[in-house]
Structure formats: structure tokens, C-alpha cells
Amino acid sequence: MPELPEVETVCRQLGVSAVPLKIAKVDILDPRVVKGVAIEELVRGLKGKTIQSVARRGKLIIFELSSRGYLVLHLRISGWIVQDDTVDHHARLCLHGAGGEMIQFCDSRVLGEVRLVRTLDEVSLIRRMGPEPLEVSAKEFMNIFQARSGKIKPLLMDQSLLAGIGNIYAQESLFCAGIHPERRADSLSQEELRKLRRCLRSILTQAIKKGGTTARTYRQTDGSGGEYGGHLCVYQRHRQRCRRCEGKIVKTAVGGRGTCFCPGCQR
DNA sequence: AATGGGACCTGCGCGC
DNA sequence: TGCGCGCAGGTCCCAT
């Protein structure tokens, strides 16, 4: 759902067309998305402040505020950000600029969250987060996975090992590398791990270029869908033909998560 | 360390 | 056509 490429897309678009934004008004349409701080405190902490810049860490969107502090957004499964002057049916929090511009945090299932912090260290997810997959060296990548006895797919999605990989890109990168999702990480050869890193990098980079994958609710900030969906090889393609070997893509559960793969191509 | 649950949530597609 | 059910997946939390 919103994983690294989707969140990166959103951050880049906000960076171009939404900031700096002086916050004139804050509308909290659903207080359930606000975590770790009282509603009034959030409103007080935002009103009159300026969003100076937008950054991403893992799957988190980080608004840097004037006068020290950050607004940290997590889209979780079903969230998206839209810049529009018409309030979306699923909008949970709206930031209004003085000139009528608006940033809406939308979330159909209300599992996403918004936090106001003084330092990023206050966010436990960030504190524990592993390196960025597009920055990690081959050696570091090897070190992360080679001594682990767990299954490679859940490990790829573990944010404390690598930040930003979710169910879509874990499945796609394993297909690309020809690795079965249930392989123990410590059974992978150096060559396989090198290939997995290369696949992960190229898929993430390509997905960012395409504006991410719209599987369900995710949108770019102008409301349009991401276009990487047409490039998917296994995710949501069970019972369809493999693009490489013409065999059937199957779906199983790995670590409790739906997992599509090609039994012919992935060993 | 790893695994397997449940909890949080709503919208969608399925079977009857 | 309508209704109930299971599933979708990111993270935290608990038990084993």
C-alpha cells in the first residue's frame, strides 16, 4: 500500500507545490488519527507555524515546522494526501493556508496517524528504524540478512532492518531476484543477496518514477493514481500467467501476510 | 530470535 | 437484490 515509493512520491509533490505553507487553520475531522498528544495541543502547536520542508524516512512523511518541531504522518494501509480545496469524504485532518490552499490527510480505514513532536527521536518507529534501502551498501545489506534464520520475506518488511519496504515491494523484489519468499535468510548465497539488493533498488527507483502503485486507496497529491501497477509481476496477480515463464502465479500466506509468487521462477 | 496470534479500522467482493 | 462474512496490510502488543 503506501510504501517507500508512494510516500516518496507524496513528499516530492508536496515539496514542489505545498511548501512553505503558513498554517492559518487546522481542522481535525477525525480525532482518532491524532496520537500521543491532545487535540487542543496539536492545534495550538500548528496554528500560525510554517511548514518549511517535507522529508521522508521509511514510510513516514515528516513536515519540518518553523520554531523547532515536526508533524509526522503515517499513512499506514489506507491513507493518502491530497492537495485540493474541496474536502474529501475521507479527510481526517486538514491544514489550511492563508490563501485557501489546503493539505488533506485522508484515510479510509482510520489506521493512519499524525504526531506532533519536538525531535524525531520521540517517534519510536524512527528510533528503531533500519537504513534506507536506496542508501544501504551491498556490504551492509549482506550483514543485515546473512545471519538471520527467519524467512526472507517477513525480514524484508521488518522496518528495524530496512525502512520502507511493505508487502508489495517485498513480493516484487523477491520475484525479480528469483527467491522463494519462505527461504531462510541465512540460506541465501552472497550472489543471491547481491541480486536481491539490485532488484530492490531498481524496482523502488522505477516505482518512484511511476508515482507509486495504486492498489486501492493510495493517490498522488493531485488525486491521480500511481502508474507502477502495470509493471507488477506477482502482487495481486495470483492465478495469472507469470510474465517470465508462463507458469501460474500462486498465493499463500507467509508470516500471516498474503504473498504471491511464481513457483517456477522463485526457488 | 522467531513465530503466531489479536487488536485497530472500513470498504469491497464473495457466496448464499 | 440484500445480507453477512472474510479479507486487505502496517504496526504494536502479548504469549510461547
What integer pLDDT is reported at residue A68 of this predicted model? 79
Residues 90-109 of A with CB within 7 A of strand B: 90, 108-109
Selection from A105, A98, A106, A164 nearest residue A136 by Cα? A164
Give Rg (Cα) of chain A: 19
Helix (H, G, I), strand (E, B) or coil at A171: helix
Known catalytic residues of A?
A: 2-3, 59, 257
Please write down the long-range contacts of A82-87, taking CB distance under 8 Å and 24 or more positions apart.
A82/A106, A82/A219, A82/A221, A82/A222, A82/A223, A83/A13, A83/A14, A83/A17, A83/A18, A83/A221, A83/A222, A84/A223, A87/A29
A 204-263 residues, CB < 7 A, strand B:
255-256
The pTM is what? 0.96
The residues of chain A scoring below 50 in pLDDT are none
Q: Which bases along strand C come within 7 Å of a protein CB atom?
A: 7-12
